[in-house]
Structures are given as C-alpha cells and as structure tokens.
C-alpha cells in the first residue's frame, strides 16, 4: 500500500476503533444523516447514507450520546473489515503481538500498535488535502474535540447530565497550573 485511501484508515491509525466511530459521527452530522440536540444526544434523520460507517452510526441512534455509539460500533462488519485490511497490509499489529514487534511499532491512543509503515502513511495522509477534509478529517486527526463547530464539539465531548467531570491538575515547570479534562469522550 502506497497511501491511505479512506479517512477511516487515517482515524484507525490515529486512535483506533473509537476514533473511527468519532469520525463516522462527524461525517453523519456533516451529511445531515444525524443531528445533535442541545443536551449532546444524537438523533437519526431520515437520510439513508451509503457510507457503511455512517450507516452503522445512524442505525445505532434511537437517542444516544457519542460514548454509546462507540460501544456499538466496535464490533460490526465495517470495523472488522477495516481492522483486517490494516493488519493484512502490515500497517498495524494486534495488541497481543506488540511485544514481538516492539522495535517496529508505536502505540497510538486507543490501543492501536501502528507499524513504521503505518506511521509513514499516516504522516503522508495528514498532508493530503483530498483525504483529510471537513469535520470528518478534523475528528480523524484530533478527536471529537476537534469537530469544526465548537459548540457541537463541546456537546459531543461534554459529560452527560449527572456524570462528574474528571480532571487532573498539575504544576508544570513554568509555575502555571495545568488542568486536563479526563472525562470520557
């Protein structure tokens, strides 16, 4: 493989199945196959998407938040096929093989062990304006917090009502306080 061909390949190499799901959520919102209400809940629209990942997102949406969609999309056919394709092309290694290949892999968020070939193709894809575009491209590379509409990004990543926000507070060398949101999403 000389280059990554889909935004979902980019997403998988960047952050694993959860990032693929987040990218599909962004694509569903962008294509108006789903809508986001004021409380951060995703709803299905009447559009019937052709993209298998967006279709899987839409089919999981009676009324749910992004975290629930991630749970549903970890196992269906499009995700299994994508993972198998990346494994067959030698771009990722299964988590249980990383020790054997530790010198040839790097770990991305989401537990993905990308090979050096996968990392090279991902670096090329980051520069490919035809592949990494719109809300889907922003989310593939930066997660739901990078969604192009800031209000939607906040709604997609905010904790549900009743959930507590988890943060860590550290004091870096510059003496300033650094607060990091560790909430799911």
pLDDT at 84 > cutoff 50: yes
32-59 mean pLDDT? 89
Element holding 93 (H helix, E strand):
strand 92-93
167: nearest Cα among 176, 158, 157, 179: 179
Q: What is the rounded average pLDDT for all residues in the chain? A: 80
Is the pLDDT at 70 greater than 90? The verdict is no
CB count within 10 Å of CB 130 equals 7
Q: pTM for this one?
A: 0.78
Give mean pLDDT, residues 134-148: 93
Q: What is the pLDDT of residue 165?
A: 47
What pLDDT shows up at residue 13? 92
Share above pLDDT 90 across residues of the chain, in percent, rounded to a whole number:
37
Q: For residue 21, is pLDDT > 50?
A: yes
Strand partners, 170: 178
- % pLDDT > 70, the chain: 76
Listed in sequence order, the residues at least 6 apart from 161 whose beta carbon sits closer than 8 Å to its beta carbon are 39
pLDDT digits (tens, 9 = 90+) for 104-128: 555 665 667 788 889 999 999 998 8
pLDDT higher at 167 or 10: 10
The phi-psi region of residue 37 (left if phi > 0; otherwise alpha if psi is between -120 and 50; otherwise beta) is: beta
Higher pLDDT, 63 or 44: 44
Give dist(CA 96, CA 81) in Å, integer. Answer: 19
- At 33 the pLDDT is 94
Contact (CB, 8 A) for 91 and 114: yes
Q: Looking up tokens 């889907």, which residue turns up?
A: 136
């Amino acid at each position: 493989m000389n280059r990554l061909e889909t935004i979902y390949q980019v997403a998988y190499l960047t952050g694993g199945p959860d990032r693929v799901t987040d990218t599909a959520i962004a694509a569903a919102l962008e294509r108006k196959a789903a809508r986001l209400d004021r409380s951060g809940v995703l709803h299905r629209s009447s559009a019937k998407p052709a993209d298998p990942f967006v279709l899987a997102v839409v089919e999981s949406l009676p009324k749910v938040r992004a975290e629930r969609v991630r749970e549903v999309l970890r196992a269906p056919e499009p995700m299994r096929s994508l993972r198998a394709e990346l494994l067959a092309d030698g771009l990722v290694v299964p988590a249980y093989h990383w020790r054997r290949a530790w010198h040839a892999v790097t770990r991305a968020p989401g537990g993905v062990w990308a090979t050096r070939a996968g990392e090279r193709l991902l670096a090329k894809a980051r520069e490919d304006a035809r592949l990494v575009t719109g809300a889907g491209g922003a989310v593939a590379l930066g997660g739901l917090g990078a969604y192009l509409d800031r209000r939607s990004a906040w709604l997609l990543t905010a904790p549900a009502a009743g959930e507590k926000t988890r943060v860590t507070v550290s004091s870096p060398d510059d003496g300033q306080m650094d607060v990091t949101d560790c909430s799911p999403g």
